[in-house]
Copies of this chain bind each other. A is one copy, B any other.
């Protein structure tokens, strides 16, 4: 079947993190059906190579295409950083990553043009945010910092108190934040640590996350392609590659509501 405006939007992430993007999508586009795929059998992507993350991203996209999606959202910063060209080449539908919209929001937010980006090792070492920011404002100064402990802290639910504060202080020193007025939360897990990060960064730094900006970009693209949906009772499916229990349990924190009936599927990796 050829996708039409009644078809669902496909969203994938390495696991639960992308549910923060799905939440923003639902808020902006409440009449769209969605299919979310969390690659929980291979999570996390942030410490893996671009080569492997691209392979997994293609497999996720193929699995979502079987649901006749009309547009694909890569709700994972690491996959967005390395796999957008491969996915755009492979798919006959529009593909939206989170990095372009996130960079757009950061450039709008910053007055000084000094912007810091935090993310997984994979996202930071790819240089994707740096390129996306420079493309939008040539004189921007970008500082970056990989924060690998933020993901397990968010998944454990240790999002306030002494441990996350000390970890944030260690990552976000003056060499990262000095002079900066905008800090991009370049990983979908980090909004769960927003309060701690904001406290460490101080009141002169604006935090930007790409979820809202990505939802806005999806709305524009759907409109441009005449694909806006108007379902009264949109469907909301969840697929996972490991057994669903942990996804449903941890995912509820990210989605901000209970999460049931995720279905386990096999990806056919080549």
Contacts and interface: CB of A to CB of B under 8 A. Distances in A.
Interface of A: 40-43, 47-49, 51-52, 148-149, 151-153, 155-156, 158, 162-163, 166-167, 170, 241-243, 245-246, 269
B153 A243 contact: no
**Number of chain copies forming the complex:** 2
Task: Kindly list the 3 A-B residue pairs having the minimum CB-CB distance in the complex, ordered from nearest.
Answer: A49-B243, A152-B152, A41-B52
A246 B156 contact: no
Given A52-B41, A52-B243, A153 B149 contact: yes
A151 B151 CA distance: 12
8 contacts: A42-B42, A47-B155, A52-B241, A52-B242, A149-B149, A149-B153, A162-B166, A163-B167
A163 B152 contact: no
Contacts of A167: 163
B163 A48 contact: no
A114 to B, nearest CB: 27
Contacts of A151: 152
